Amino acid sequence: MKIQHVFIITIIIAFVVSLLCVSFFPSIQDFMEYNTLWNGVRHSLNDLNASTIDSSHELANIDTNNILICIPYLQYNNSELDGLKTFVDNGGTLMLLDDYGYGNSVLQYFDLDCRFSGAPLLDPLFCYKNQWFPEVTDFAPSVDKGVKEIILNHATALTNTGKMETLAWSSSSSFLDQNGNESWNKGEPQGPLPVAARQKLGKGEIILVSDPSIVINSMLSRGDNSQFLKNLTGADITSGQILLDISHLVKKPMDITKTKLTQIKNILSQPYLVLAVILLLFILTSFYMSRIGGSIERKL
């Protein structure tokens, strides 16, 4: 066998092994669909019967009775912001989960006064484990069905919610740690502080939650987080689809490759295309083997 044949076969084997590794090894990146560890969102997607989109441009093809969940850890450009605004104006529901990301740029583009504070929300009295995990027990009647408490994880709070319907408040012992010393100091806002709110916009609405960690695998089962999410999205009664936009999350190369592989699998799931690919592989393999056989015969 010629050296080039060995080289080609080695490359093919290495490529196949790499694809298998990417397919079977879980992602470890925050909020990733394929991450089954503590910081992924696989459990939330299953719990809400939700799926993902990887581009804001896909909004043009999404029905406006759907609910779009966004975690804005990367900046939006004006075209993307315009797509979100059009989606909401036409009847869609945008659920914006943020703490220290770029949620305020979305609110500013939507011409809303409310903002994500960006300062840590701490609660030394009503908390789970420690003050970085505030317990929230005060809810609006529209979202309190089956919900007694939710537990946040390194959250912030909402400010300037005057025109919005506040849906949940932190306790009176909570505060925003604006100077970062993990203790309350004079002048720092004290609870109760809004952590979830919504407002009608055009034909749709926007929902704000000041902690995206509420959807990760390790937090979904804490308190009544799962039911609270269902109440916010109407997952128990909605006829629309719930979508998580992962296009503004930080991804590792493995996450990008996994997404591409999934897209390829979806395309190849079409039977006629599968038949065409098999036929093409058969032709290429036959051609390659005939060339190898011809070269061996000439040597003999």
In order of their start, the domains of the chain are 3-24+255-292 (no CATH), 42-251 (3.40.50)
pLDDT at residue number 36: 81
Alpha-helical regions (H) of the chain: 3-24, 42-48, 78-89, 103-109, 217-220, 225-233, 253-268, 271-299
d(CA 159, CA 178): 13
Q: Tell me the mean pLDDT per 10 residues along the chain, length 300.
A: 59 55 59 81 89 78 84 93 92 94 96 96 96 97 95 97 95 97 95 96 95 94 94 74 88 61 57 64 68 52
pLDDT at residue number 13: 62
pLDDT at residue number 296: 45
Residue 149 C-alpha from the chain's centroid = 23
**What region, left, alpha or beta, does residue 223 occupy, with left being phi > 0 and alpha being psi -120 to 50 degrees?**
left
Residue 186 C-alpha from the chain's centroid = 37
Tokens read off for 297: 């015969």
Nearest to 246 by CA among 73, 93, 118: 73
d(CA 251, CA 248): 9
Q: In which element (H, E) is residue 189 found?
A: none
pLDDT digits (tens, 9 = 90+) for 256-279: 565 665 555 555 565 655 566 667
Q: Which residue bears the tokens 């011409």? A: 111
pTM, entire model: 0.78
